[in-house]
Structure 1
Amino acid sequence: MRQLGIFVSVAIAAVIFGASSPDGGVATAAPSDPSPSAAGNKLANSELQKRDGVTAAIAAPAAAAAAPAIPAVSTGAEPAALGASGACPADMVQVEGDYCPWLEQKCLRWVDPETKMRCAEFAPTGPCQSATSHKKFCIDKYEYPNIAGEKPVVMKTWIEAKATCESLGKRLCGETEWTVACEGQERLPYPYGLERNAEACNIDKPHPEPDEKLIADPRTRDAEVARLDQRDPSGFREACVSPYGVHDMTGNVDEWVVNESGRPYKSGLKGGYWGPVRTRCRPMTTAHNETFIFYQIGFRCCGDVPSTETATASPKPEKAEQPAKAKAVATSQLLAGS
Structure 2
Amino acid sequence: MSARFVLALVWGALILPATVDAQTTRQQTNNTLFEQLKTVHALSAAQMQRLKTIFAGSSVMGQGNPAITRHPMTPEECKARISGGVGSYDNPRNTRICGNRFMAPLYDPRSESPDDAKACIDIFEFPNIPCTYPVVWTKAREAAEICAAVGKRLCDAHEWEGACAGALEPPDYFFGYGSVEAMRKVHNRKYAPTKRWAYGPSFQRGVCAQNSEKSATCGGGGYRSCGSNTYPTGAFPDCKSELGVYDQHGNAAEHMNLPMTPDQMASRGSRKLGVTEMKGSWFIWDKYRAHPDWCRWRAPYWHGSRVMSKESHENYHLGFRCCKTID
TM-score (norm 1): 0.50
Q: How does 1:159-238 map to 2 (within 5 A)?
A: 159-185=141-167, 189-203=196-210, 207=214, 210-212=218-220, 214-215=222-223, 221=224, 224-226=225-227, 229-238=228-237
- Aligned 8 A contact 1:97 1:136 in 2: no
The structure that is strand-richer by fraction is 1
Question: What is the rounded CA distance, in whole Å, between the counterparts of 1:258 and 1:98 in structure 2?
Answer: 24
Number of matched pairs: 191
The structure that is helix-richer by fraction is 2
Q: What code does the residue aligned with 1:179 have?
A: E
Q: 1:213 to 1:180 in 2, by over 3 A?
A: closer
Partner of 1:283: 297
- Aligned 8 A contact 2:214 2:226 in 1: no
Partner of 2:124: 142
Partner of 1:169, secondary structure, is: coil
Q: 1:163 to 1:204 in 2, by over 3 A?
A: same
Q: 1:205 to 1:135 in 2, by over 3 A?
A: same
Question: What is the rounded CA distance, in whole Å, between the counterparts of 1:97 and 1:136 in structure 2?
Answer: 11
Question: What is the rounded CA distance, in whole Å, between the counterparts of 1:203 and 1:86 in structure 2?
Answer: 31
Partner of 2:67: none
Q: CA deviation at 1:207?
A: 5.0
TM-score (norm 2): 0.51
- Aligned 8 A contact 1:171 1:303 in 2: yes
Instruction: From the CA coordinates, give the structure whose radius of gyration is larger.
Output: 1
Partner of 2:90: none
Partner of 1:269: 278
Q: CA deviation at 1:96?
A: 0.7
Partner of 1:19: none
- For the pair 1:304 / 2:318, whether they are aligned, the reply is no
Q: How big is each residue's C-alpha offset from its partner over 1:226-246, in whole Å with a ceiling of 9 and x where there is no partner?
A: 3xx331100000100001000
Q: CA deviation at 1:86?
A: 5.0
Q: CA deviation at 1:211?
A: 3.8
Q: 1:261 to 1:232 in 2, by over 3 A?
A: same
Question: What is the rounded CA distance, in whole Å, between the counterparts of 1:253 and 1:160 in structure 2?
Answer: 16
Question: What is the rounded CA distance, in whole Å, between the counterparts of 1:96 and 1:295 in structure 2?
Answer: 32
Q: 1:168 to 1:194 in 2, by over 3 A?
A: same
- For the pair 1:89 / 2:104, whether they are aligned, the reply is no
Q: Please say which of residues 265-274 and 161-170 is displaced more in the overlay.
A: 265-274
Tell me the C-alpha RMSD between the 2 structures: 3.3
Q: CA deviation at 1:87?
A: 3.9
Partner of 2:259: 260
Partner of 1:97, secondary structure, is: coil
State, as a whole percentage, how many aligned pairs show the same letter.
Answer: 26
Question: What is the rounded CA distance, in whole Å, between the counterparts of 1:248 and 1:213 in structure 2?
Answer: 22
Question: What is the rounded CA distance, in whole Å, between the counterparts of 1:284 and 1:267 in structure 2?
Answer: 11
Q: CA deviation at 1:203?
A: 2.8
Q: Please say which of residues 184-193 and 202-211 is displaced more in the overlay.
A: 202-211
Q: How does 1:100-139 map to 2 (within 5 A)?
A: 136-139=118-121
Question: What is the rounded CA distance, in whole Å, between the counterparts of 1:95 and 1:265 in structure 2?
Answer: 21
Q: CA deviation at 1:261?
A: 2.2
- Aligned 8 A contact 1:88 1:138 in 2: no
Partner of 2:107, secondary structure, is: strand
Q: CA deviation at 1:173?
A: 0.6
- Aligned 8 A contact 2:254 2:319 in 1: yes
